[in-house]
Structure 1
Amino acid sequence: METAGTEPGAVTMRENELIRDLYDSDLRYCSDHLDRLFDFMQREGLWNGTELYLTSDHGEEFYDHGMYYHRNVPYDELLNVPLFVKRDTADPDHVEESRELLDLAPTICADHGVDVDGLPFRGRNLFDGESREVIATGSAAIDDAAVVAGRWDGWKYIYDGGDVRLYDLEADPEERVSVADANPETVRSFEATIPDGLFDLESPGTRTPDDDVDEERLAALGYMEV
């Protein structure tokens, strides 16, 4: 796993499969304990009337685009995360359009009768409207250059330290072949919509632990491997 973080190209196919299996085991572990939690809530009469919000801050890459883990360019394997909401304020609904984690806070506030119009949220209610212009940042693979992506109207735009890529998600859902050169107007549209400041952000990179306790915590999260 350390090699995957520092020399991803040196990981063998067998090692890649092992890393995937370990990740799958983590998913099973999490799922099993969610089952325990939900069963307990139902037995104790806590299920009805309780709101639940389950999501993740990122996905994981397994050399899909030449890297491992999640400190990488924001391809869809990193952006697509689980999200489900159990609430008693509305009938069950299934939203198929893309959403952002920024939408969670205003959704929770709205479900509890808090007026969010005057609050400085950058997101909006998960159940408000259909299409969104989803914007995300990532980490440069080589240096600390800015990495930003936009995803809407069937297109995926990625700016990676000056390198611009554009993917037609309907024809190329795995984001393999950039069509930026053939679609300059679409590229310009993304660049006009994404806030200018995001193109100037530098990747935070890694940092030296503050002390032994800090190092232990970072190691437990896997950040000392790189």
Structure 2
Amino acid sequence: MQQGRHNIIWIVLDTVRAESTSCYGYKRDTTPFLKSLANESMFYSHAFSSAPWTTPSHAGMFTGTLSVAHQTDRSNERLTPDLPSLATLLGETGYKTVGFSNNAHVSPDFDFDRGFHHFQFNTESYNEPLDGGVPISRIRSNTSDGTWYEQLDEALQYIRDRDGSALKTVGNWIYRKASENGWVGHSDRGAASTNEFVRKFLSNPQDQPFFLYLNYMEGHAPYQSPDEFQYRYTDDPLVSHWSSQEDYFGQTVEDQEQKINALRDQYDGCISYLDSKIEELIEILRQKNQFSNSMVVVTSDHGEAFGEWGLYEHKAGLYNELTHVPLIINTPKSESVDISIPVSNRWLFSTSLKQAGVEVPEHAIDADLLNPSPKPVLMESEGLPYNDWVYDNGVSSRFSKPHEAIVMNNKKYIQYDTDDAELFEIQRESRTNQRFDSEESETMGSKLRELLTDAARSTRSDSCRDDTITEETKSQLRELGYR
């Protein structure tokens, strides 16, 4: 490996909110390994994502910009070609760039492989183990609501049209049903495959520094992990999860509080499983002599809501449940340090470039998480993508439109396009701790608008707005709850 240049490893725990981990004082010891890792690393107690869902958050980390600049959002989920990605910049300066993702949003279909020498999207993370079958979600979205034999005929025709194996498709369907109903042991969402990928990758001699991006999906609904963890905090895991999300918003789910608590139990079990797999991953790095010469980052792209503020799952809202994320950085020179000033994991872009000795482009904020100084932290949300039933059922209309937030001076200011605004102490973000200091709100609102205007100067063209997304990926995203 080239002397003086360290490897850069990003570990993204999809949908894991900070407050559900032991490192951040959670009531359950969900992440004992991450807590021990934090004790020998740089630990950021107030780290925030730039958006409350995968696509814009990852685009922010990959390009170092906000949504107003990269414009990778619900209307266009492709990673912009107009701004250089971290993988591109590192690859041009001698790094080998490798990625492995279990999330369909972060896949070649959406150009998130741009700049990577090798990028693998794990299609097996959708609980269908037999190769050659047609994804069940694709069949469901391409059959009518007719009688059962009409649906069967349409399904078989759909499988034939795609040169798929009917036998393997049925086998995958049976396996999924058996897993959902607890007739067979639960599998994970790709964490084991991710670690095996890393093991094989590192088995080859590394004659150049590498950038390794890994996405782990167990924290994302449907909160699925092996039985030891699936049943760690609950005796009766829910099968449907958020499939009736409309009913949760409408407060019409029977025993709603009990079901939400059960979902939290499953979520916590998945986070505990992730902790065990990250421990395994770090051990692989140590065995391959790649830990002590690497900058290893553990973070999340966003959090998850379980009814707080009237919100469920993610996609909208800039409260801590959705944007306060874990952030741990271990470098060959780092010591145990607790960083209390607010930071953004979007700054991983510039931090990684500095670590590699690469100049930070003008479009990105010149921030270094290894030598942090107080800077405003910005985040954005497009608003909920759902139909009118959301707002007809008690969800505040302010979530239907874009909203932005700024964190500075240990306070968070959220501005809604409905002209509503909220001001909080970041350590105690709750309805009872909302502040209504008009002068302070005006100052923070003015700073927010100024910084967003500056960020928007790095714009993109429409050249990448290509709607050619495969049906398989569309189906997988619908299965994750994205419409």
Fold shared by both chains (TM-score > 0.5): yes
1:10 aligned onto 2:252 = yes
Alignment of 1:152-171 (within 5 A): 152-161=408-417, 162-169=419-426
Q: Which has the larger radius of gyration?
A: 2
Q: Which residue, 380, 391, 414 being the options, matches 1:137?
A: 380
Moved more, 76-85 or 126-135: 126-135
In the alignment, what sits opposite 1:75? 319
Q: Structure 1 residue 107 and structure 2 residue 363: aligned?
A: no
Question: What corresponds to 1:120 in structure 2?
Answer: 363
Aligned-residue offset at 1:30: 1.5
SS of 1:136's partner is: strand
Q: Which amino acid aligns with 1:128?
A: N
Structure 1 gaps, min length 5: 202-207
Give the partner amino acid of 1:76. Answer: N
Local SS of the residue matching 2:443: helix
Aligned partners of 1:107 and 1:124 also within 8 Å: yes
**Does the 8 Å contact 1:106/1:125 carry over to 2?**
yes
Per mean C-alpha deviation after superposition, the further-off stretch among 119-128 and 51-60 is 119-128
Q: Distance in 1 between matches of 2:313 and 2:332?
A: 36
Deviation at 1:209, TM superposition (A): 9.8
Partner of 2:438: 184
> 1:194-217, CA deviations, whole angstroms, 9 ceiling, x for partnerless residues?
135859x9xxxxxx9955313222
Q: Which amino acid aligns with 1:124?
A: A
Aligned residues: 213
1:186 is paired with a residue whose SS is helix
Q: Give the partner amino acid of 2:263.
A: I
Q: SS state of the match for residue 223, structure 1?
A: coil
Query: In 1, distance between residues paired with 2:277 and 2:479?
Result: 20
Q: Higher mean Cα deviation, 29-38 or 132-141?
A: 132-141
1:66 CA drift (Å): 0.8
Counterpart code for 2:414: I
Aligned-residue CA RMSD (Å): 2.7
* Runs of 4 or more consecutive aligned structure 1 residues displaced over 6 Å after TM superposition: none
Gaps of 5+ in 2: 1-241, 385-396, 457-466
- Name the CA shift for 1:197/1:210 in 2 (closer, same or farther; >3 Å): farther
Alpha-carbon separation, structure 2, partners of 1:70 and 1:4: 11
Q: More relative contact order in 1 or in 2 (CA 8 Å, sep 6+)?
A: 2
Q: Deviations over 1:28-47 (max 9, x none)?
A: 22112111111222223332
Give the 3-state SS of the residue equivalent to 1:85 in structure 2: strand
Deviations 1:164-223 (A, max 9, x none): 1122446x433445332xx11111101110135859x9xxxxxx9955313222034332
Cα 1:197–1:88 change in 2 (3 A) is: closer
Distance in 2 between residues matched to 1:28 and 1:209, nearest whole Å: 37
**Alignment partner of 2:298: what SS?**
strand
Q: TM-score w.r.t. structure 1 length?
A: 0.81
Answer yes or no: is 1:96 the counterpart of 2:340: yes
- Once residues 295 and 410 of structure 2 are traced to their aligned partners in structure 1, the CA distance between those partners, rounded to angstroms, is 32
1:115 deviates by 2.9
Query: Which residue identity lines up with residue 79 of structure 1 in the other structure?
Result: T
Output the TM-score relative to the length of structure 2: 0.40
Partners of 1:166 and 1:178 within 8 A in 2: yes
Percent identical pairs in the alignment equals 20
For residues 97 and 177 of structure 1, do their structure 2 counterparts lie closer, same or farther at Cα, with a shift above 3 Å needed? closer
Deviations 1:19-70 (A, max 9, x none): 1122112212211211111122222333221221111110111111111111
